[in-house]
Amino acid sequence: MIFLVNNAGISPRKDGNKVTVEDMTLEEWERVMAVNLRSQFLTSRAVIPKMKARRWGRIINISSQAARKRPGNIIGAEYVASKAGILGLTRCLAVELASFDITVNAVCPGLTESDMLGDVNDGLTSQHMEQVPIGRLGSPNDIANALLFLADSSSGYITGTALDVNGGDHMA
C-alpha cells in the first residue's frame, strides 16, 4: 500500500492579522506558493512513478475551507489562492491517474487546533467560532480520521473530490 499525504501550509501574519495584498511583498507571496502549492506538486510527482508501477495508490492533498468559501478576515489572498490551486491540482491528478487505480482527493479543514492558529488574533478566532455549528475547533484527530478513510482501499471509488472537515462551517 502506498499513499501520500501532502500537508504543508503557511500564511503570513502581521500583529495577528492577515497581510493584505497591498502590504504583501512579492517574496512573501512566492514563499506561500512554494510551501503550500509547489511542494504538493513536487512530492506528488516524486511518488507517482512508484504508484503507477504498483498500479495502486492514494494521494491526499491538504487544502483548506478557505479555498471553498467566501474569504473572511483571518486568511489572506496568498493562502486562499494557494489552497484553491491545490483543489485544481487534485482534480487534474485524479483524472491523469485514475486508470492506474490511483485516487487523488483533498481534505479541506476548517479552523483546527494547530501551530498556525496560534498566530491568529484571538478575537478573530472567537468571532469565527460563533459561526461554526459544531461549536468547536477541529482537532488533529478529526483531520486524521478523514485521511484514514481516504487512504483505505474501501474508498477506491472516490477520486477528485474535496472532503470538508470543518464542523459545518462550510457546506457544499
pLDDT digits (tens, 9 = 90+) for 33-42: 999 999 999 9
**Catalytic (active site) residue 157:** no
Instruction: Tell me what pLDDT residue 147 has.
Output: 98
Q: Is the pLDDT of residue 131 over 80?
A: no
Cell, residue 159: 477520486
107 assigned to some structural domain = yes
Q: For residue 38, report the phi and psi dihedrals to the nearest 5 degrees.
A: -60, -40
171 assigned to some structural domain = no
What is the span of the domain harbouring residue 15? 3-165
45 assigned to some structural domain = yes
Greater model confidence, 82 or 128? 82
172 assigned to some structural domain = no
100 assigned to some structural domain = yes
CB 168 within 8 A of CB 135: no
- Rounded to two decimals, the pTM is 0.89
Q: Strand 3-6 to strand 162-165: parallel, antiparallel, or no bridges (unpaired)?
A: unpaired
Instruction: Tell me what pLDDT residue 111 has.
Output: 81
Which of 6, 19, 66, 79 is catalytic? The answer is 79
136 assigned to some structural domain = yes
CATH number, domain with residue 45: 3.40.50.720
pLDDT tens-digit readout, 46-100? 999 999 999 999 999 999 998 998 776 667 899 999 999 999 999 999 999 999 9
- Counted domains in the chain: 1
Q: Return the residue matching grid coordinates 491523469.
A: 96
119 assigned to some structural domain = yes
170 assigned to some structural domain = no
Greater model confidence, 26 or 135? 26
How far, in Å, are 10, 97, 151 from residue 64 at the CA level? 12, 23, 18
Exposure string for 46-67, b = 16+ CB within 10 A, e = fewer: ebbeebeeeebbbbbbbbbbbb
Lowest mean pLDDT segment, chosen from 122-131, 140-149, 158-167: 122-131
